Structure 1
Amino acid sequence: MLAVLLVVAAVVGVRGARPAAAASPAAAAAPVRIMPLGDSITGSPGCWRALLWNQLQNAGYKNIDFVGTLGPQGCSVPYDGDNEGHGGILATNIASQNQLPGWLSATKPDIVIMHLGTNDVWSNIAPSQILASFTTMVGQMRASNPSMKVLVAQILPMNPSNCAECAQRVITFNQQIPAWAQSISTAQSPVTVVDQWTGFNDATDTSDGVHPNDAGIVKVAARWYPPLAALLSTGGGTTGGTSTGGTTTGGTTTGGTTTGGTTAGSTSGSTAGSTTGSTNGGSTTGSSSGTTAGSTTGSTSGTTNGGTTTGGTTTGGSGSGGTGGGGCTAVLSITSSWQGGYQGAITVKNTSGGSIRSWAVTIVPNGGAQITQAWNGTLTTGSNGSATVRSADWNGSLANGASTDFGFLASLPAGAGNPTATVSCSATA
């Protein structure tokens, strides 16, 4: 990963360099504050942000600041890693739970680049409901900054083996984004659509059918760069335009558009079920409580609170609970559950007082559950139902206080009740 990122950062820097005749990025007394907003595609670890940051720096855009309440999660190259990429998050939950205003108040962005909706689409939430949530969030952005510039993605294709309908759902959702953007965009606060779908192949550009791999993050960064650089150069934007990697002017698109139902960049054969760390269900909001046993173990129990369930699945359920004592802590969240299974996310934090080179989290599911898959880590399972997830090459090295996360899927026997698990963490310095 390190070699790939270093080489790619150099290459995209050359490609991103502007002709000598182009205007230089305008100097400003204060840096332009840019919030990457999304789910685990943006934040876990979201290494396209590292490529994009270095591409902007290499092109001369020095007076910028990536902002967010979350810190960097690896990627092995220097970059400004602050972000608002919350693994497992749904756009509809951000809006209904009024989460965005607090993030905006803490970070004061001038520009938001947003890739959201993957988890909502997986949950079979109607595009109209997702876009209504987008409208709420854009209103909150403008309340924070009336001149907010928003880049919103037509989301990446996904084709996990346990969601045969997801590929078409993404297409259907993406088709409705440009008209929505056109309707809400203003001259003072433009909303520009960035086509992240066209040319992206879920079989070759993802590690699991959903999350970008080394090839995928290059494509993601390359699509964000032109419209973001245009905003940084001019301070303006395109009203209701769509960018597919070219230059967007006056609401027209250079470099191609996504046309309904096309399958460029969407192929089958991807591995099962990681959606940005969440989902498979409806819109039930849940909560969990965690307790710590001794110094190294914790248990998390999930309960659902109100909300609605779509298609027999439940989405939501945040949890807490985790480790201590082993140089790192692990906090478990139950991000979604459905009849016969659930999905979880675990945040690992270095609490050793120094740097660590790797970590390992042991998960002991309760109720006869079995961990079947994990992403952003290497999974091994035991005969007693326990599982261990070890850090990947790119997210094991953590400075003191730094964190990263991974996700997993688990099967759940009938009648087992709410999903729970005990987790513990150990680190290698």
Structure 2
Amino acid sequence: MEMIPQEIIRQKRDGERLSPEAVSDFIAGLTAGTVTEGQAAAFAMAVWFTGMAADETVALTRAMRDSGTVLDWSALDRPVADKHSTGGVGDNVSLMLAPIAAACGLAVPMISGRGLGHTGGTLDKLESIAGYTIAPSPDLFRRTVADVGCAIVGQTADLAPADRRLYAIRDVTATVDSVPLITASILSKKLAAGLQSLVLDVKVGNGAFMTDLAEARTLARSLVEVATDAGLPTTALVSDMNHPLADAAGNALEVKNCVAFLKGDKRGSRLETLVLELAAEMLVGAGMAADLDNARMQAADAVSSGHAAETFARMIAALGGPADLLDRPETRLRAAPVVLPVQAARDGFLGACATRDLGMAVIELGGGRLRPDQAIDHRVGFDRLRPPGSRIERGDEIGRVHAASREAAEHAAARLRKIFAIVEDPPPEGPLVVERITAGRGVPAAQGLQ
């Protein structure tokens, strides 16, 4: 007999273990609309406070996967793989990674999401490109993946629809950072996408949802184990998010950063290190490379040869965007009317960054959402952010604000000066990739990987 939603909420509120049938009933109601937004919010909060056992999380993941269509890519002649990040600031990795992996022979049907909390969303970044279709028809999505090798799109109406509804509710109810909810949200979409292998980038640090390494490990292991139990081979990297990953934060600005990366202008950066490392994991996981060293070389060659840039350009054009985005990003991406350089107030080295505050500053500029239905300004944000450890002299530019008004720009500039600490001595440089996690175990990252 079908359980009523409030009884399921009560059970989870009281710390009881939900049966697979109860989870399935609740998700079915969420999909059908018989579970209200208030009930979904109460359920999410109950899970946040009391957690879920492994079997509950598996049941939630499968129920959300099965709430809509599950894609089938068996007709393709290349392995189907993807990557997902748990969210960070200046994390535009997906924009470069999908075409790099496709240029190396993978098929990458990347189902992405919008921003959550203080973190940016890949779909929001892509929507800064005029004409780009984040919700193509199923035929166009399949054709783009088959012809180009990759397509970065949003969830269609029939792909894990229960997750799409719950995702928006979590964003505005302070329930984003729940391991079971994150696990089920990420994996329901990936399982529905019909993948053959998956790589996860689990962020840790003051700009991540998981600020503690132990918490990040818990999430990474949950994701890897649940995915593996569902038949999807998965590995995870735990990576540092104590500094913005790219030197830009904001939607159109991160797309410009992606274009510069694919043209070879970001060599030697932390961003390049992580992109190539995740690409290597994808290639090894899909059986396209014998080991990580060989896979890194393949990925680097895809960038240096221009093949990845060409693939990115073809994807943008195939999904309705301008064919000349790589050649004319400054005219194809709308610019903010006010651009304000921010100077350092003293000499020293760029030390700690309040990365979460940087993400919130983008939202305050209008580049993120406080409500699910809120429109965003794709033009605004920060760029030319200096990397951690940079030598700074008073008056040097530590970044630029892009804003809709002079008043907003000056407020954001004052905030940016407080977000970046300037210290007397060079700060210690920790690893960018902290740990590699596979089913059943975690593996510390190789020394020297920054």
**TM-score surpassing 0.5?**
no
Name the TM-score class by shorter chain: 0.3 to 0.5
Structure with greater strand percent: 1
TM-score by length of 2: 0.35
TM-score by length of 1: 0.36
Structure with greater helix percent: 2
